[in-house]
Amino acid sequence: MRITRYTHACVRLEHEGRVLVIDPGTWSEPAALTGADAVLVTHEHADHVDVLRLAGLGVPVYAPAEADIPRLEVTGVASDAEFTAAGFRVRAVGERHAFVYGGQPDCANLGYIVDEAVYHPGDALHVPEQSIETLLVPVQGSWMKMAEAIDFVKAVRPQRTFAIHDAQINDRGLSSVNGWLAEETDSGYRYLMPGESV
């Protein structure tokens, strides 16, 4: 499976000509959706779902059943649901977005495990019960701190880890984040630049 990371939380998965895109938000590049066969959305926030772009795309979009995403037709998904999107096997895990302050925001957030190998948690740090080969770890957000990202990687225990959710930090901050994750986790951590593939 080819994994291409785009700005912030957007990731493109390709295998045998099939393309699945996760969380193409308003900050991600339009190129992420070129040739997409289906899209997974973890939650309703604009940095994870670009409604106008997806409305005109004409491919199936899967999102939490409780998500409030006006003007976009989606297939609602529940936690623990298993389904096929663009020929990839997907399992939804988790339930709610991480809190920022005072219990807010409170919205549905599902992480997706694709082909029992790649895990995108959205804006939550839900630890799945199954083993994970590739973890896409959020590294910055108003809802988290560095210690939580490190502990999340240690709890999931993936074979390899790539950063996502980093568009609000500058180069100096990113260097610090990368250093902490590389030093404190034994997970094959690597930072992919937007547009870079593995």
Tokens of 156: 């999931």
In this structure, what token pair is assigned to residue 135? 């973890």
- DSSP H helices in the chain: 51-55, 146-156, 171-184
Tell me what the mean pLDDT of segment 6-14 comes to.
Answer: 98
Q: What span, in angstroms and rounded, lies between the C-alpha atoms of 116 and 22?
A: 15
Provide the pLDDT for residue 53: 96
pLDDT of residue 62: 98
Q: How far apart are CA 68 and CA 66, in angstroms?
A: 7
What pLDDT is recorded for position 197? 98
CB-CB contact of 113 with 88 (8 Å): no
Q: Which residue, 26, 35, 33, is CA-closest to 11?
A: 33
**What's residue 90's pLDDT?**
98
pLDDT in the model for residue 153: 98
Residues contacting residue 81 through CB under 8 Å, at least 6 positions apart: 91, 92
pLDDT band at 27; cut points 50, 70, 90: very high
